[in-house]
């Protein structure tokens, strides 16, 4: 087994998943504004180190994706943040793209930037302790979108990023996110997501990326959030599995879903059913941002010094998702 394959499996084995705490300062400010906490670098660190020092980190979280600001911060008890995460038994990771901008030639769509100078930045993050990285391509669905141009150019960027990350000895998370926004049906989501993922693998293979040393981070197959379609969690799970089985090469060791705007319970319930019906050899787990942090953030905002209480809320959500990643969750376990 290669080193990269080992890292990928260790992050996701035994029901462990990834805490996506890599919100850019802009996004984190929106999250903190929504609960009326000032977005200072101290507050961003306090919330995050509260999560990173929770007991569930050892059992339930195999990796944490950080933002550039956080990977360079030091916790209140003088631990460098990547060291704190490693001590808790998880792997530190880092978002390395620099965000999605309007795509020239199709300005209603987005292209993710950050390839310039990436090799040098990766070396710096590796020295800071990062074991894996993330790059997110983003696609919106409508009658004409995602266009061939967006599918092609984002896949190309994801592949160039992945090749550089593996060259530097880290595992790339390949995240092509087909957004939930819109009126589209689950069939549209299925078709577009399949096309997007297949193109990504075509480019990854062209760029000689070792597929055993990546983690795929896709969306689940869902109808748009403004769609009139009603679809059960069972159907979501079965469509998601069918899409992955048909589009993801079998060498890929693990797939960790994004939550993408689903509620905490929806994201857990869907992951649980995906694992119950899993007819693939992939490890299927979570790499949630909002669906792991929402309740904890709300609780914390009422008293930002209530560390224990906040950790209790986070531990519960992490535990529920770890059970779901093994198909062992049930609604009665929710409090
Ligand atoms: P959500 O789970 O909130 O969608 O965030 C995951 C993520 O990392 C998006 O890039």
Confidence of residue 1 (pLDDT cuts 50, 70, 90): low
State in Å: Cα 290 to ligand 1 middle.
Answer: 6
Split into its structural domains, the chain has a count of 1
Cβ atoms < 10 Å from Cβ of 212: 16
DSSP letters spanning 113-126 = ---TTHHHHHHHHH
Share the mean pLDDT of the chain. Answer: 98
| pLDDT tens by residue, 56-85 | 999 999 999 999 999 999 999 899 999 999
Strand-strand pairing, 132-139 and 171-178: parallel
How would you class 80 by CB atoms within 10 Å of its CB: exposed for 0-12, middle for 13-18, buried for 19 or more? middle
pLDDT tens across 110-131, in order? 999 999 999 999 999 999 999 9
Q: Provide the 8-state DSSP code for 53.
A: T
Residue of 119, 126, 50 whose CA lies nearest to 91: 126
- Best CA proximity match to 191, nearest among 226, 132, 151: 151
Task: Select from 18, 166, 154, 39 the least CA-distant residue to 97.
Answer: 154
Establish whether residue 288 lines the binding site of ligand 1, counting it when its CB lies within 6 angstroms of any ligand atom: yes
20 C-beta closer than 6 A to ligand 1: yes
The alpha carbon of 256 and the centre of ligand 1 are apart by a number of angstroms equal to 11
Using an 8 Å Cβ cutoff, are 313 and 295 in contact?
A: yes
Distance 91 CA to ligand 1 centre (A): 18
Residue numbers of the domain that contains 12: 3-333
Active site residues: 217
Q: Is 217 in the pocket of ligand 1 (CB under 6 A)?
A: no
Instruction: Report the nearest atom of ligand 1 relative to the CA of 291.
Output: 2
∠ at Cα 44 (43, 46), nearest 5°? 60
Share of residues in the chain with pLDDT > 90 (%): 98
- What are φ and ψ of residue 187, in 5° steps? -65, -45
Kindly give the distance from the C-alpha atom of residue 81 to the centroid of ligand 1, in angstroms, as a whole number.
20
pLDDT tens digits, residue range 281-332?
999 999 999 999 999 999 999 999 999 999 999 999 999 999 999 999 999 9
Ligand 1 site-directed mutation target among 20, 51, 93, 324, most atoms within 8 Å of CB: 20
Atom of ligand 1 nearest to the CA of 260: 4
Global pTM exceeds 0.95? yes
pLDDT, position 334: 97
| 214 vs 220: CA distance, rounded Å | 18
Confirm or reject: Cβ of 317 under 6 Å from ligand 1: no
**Sorting pLDDT into bands at 50, 70 and 90, what band is 53?**
very high
- Alpha carbon 133 to chain centroid, angstroms: 10
Helices (H), 168-289: 186-206, 233-247, 264-276
The CATH number assigned to the domain holding 175 equals 3.20.20.70
- Any atom of ligand 1 within 6 Å of the Cβ of 268: no
Say what the pLDDT of residue 335 is.
Answer: 74
Is residue 150 scored above 70 in pLDDT? yes
Tell me: the pLDDT tens digits for 196-232? 999 999 999 999 999 999 999 999 999 999 999 889 9
Q: Kindly report the protein residue whose alpha carbon is nearest to atom 4 of ligand 1.
A: 260
The pLDDT > 70 percentage for the chain reads 100
pLDDT in tens, 246-288: 999 999 999 999 999 999 999 999 999 999 999 999 999 999 9
Determine the Cα–Cα distance for residues 22 and 135; give it in Å rounded to an integer: 11
């Amino acid at each position: 087994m290669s080193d990269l394959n080992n890292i990928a499996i260790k992050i996701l084995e035994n029901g462990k998943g990834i805490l996506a705490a890599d919100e850019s300062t802009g996004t984190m400010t929106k999250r903190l504004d929504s609960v009326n906490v000032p977005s200072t670098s101290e507050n961003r660190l306090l919330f995050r180190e509260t999560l990173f020092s929770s007991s569930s980190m050892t059992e339930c979280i195999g990796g944490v994706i950080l933002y550039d600001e956080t990977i360079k911060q030091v916790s209140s008890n003088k631990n460098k943040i990547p060291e704190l995460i490693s001590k808790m038994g998880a792997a530190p990771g880092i978002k390395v793209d620099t965000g999605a901008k309007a795509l020239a030639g199709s300005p209603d769509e987005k292209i993710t930037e950050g390839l310039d100078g990436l090799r040098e930045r990766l070396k710096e993050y590796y020295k800071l302790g990062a074991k894996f990285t993330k790059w997110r391509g983003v696609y919106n669905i409508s009658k004409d979108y995602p266009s061939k141009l967006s599918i092609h150019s984002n896949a190309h960027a994801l592949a160039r990023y992945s090749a550089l990350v593996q060259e530097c000895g880290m595992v790339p998370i390949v995240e092509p996110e087909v957004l939930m926004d819109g009126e589209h049906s689950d069939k549209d989501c299925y078709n577009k997501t399949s096309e997007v993922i297949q193109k990504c693998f075509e480019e990854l293979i062209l760029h000689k990326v070792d597929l055993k040393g990546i983690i795929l981070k896709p969306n689940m197959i869902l109808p748009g959030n403004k769609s009139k379609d009603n679809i059960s969690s069972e159907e979501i799970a079965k469509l998601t599995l069918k899409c992955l089985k048909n589009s993801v090469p079998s060498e890929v060791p693990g797939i960790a879903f994004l939550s993408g705007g689903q509620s905490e319970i929806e994201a857990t319930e869907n992951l649980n059913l995906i694992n119950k019906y899993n007819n693939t050899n992939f490890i299927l787990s979570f790499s949630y941002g909002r669906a792991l942090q929402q309740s904890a953030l709300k609780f914390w905002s009422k008293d930002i010094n209530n560390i224990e209480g906040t950790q209790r809320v986070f531990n519960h959500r992490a535990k529920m998702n770890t059970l779901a990643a093994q198909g062992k969750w049930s609604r009665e376990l929710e409090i």
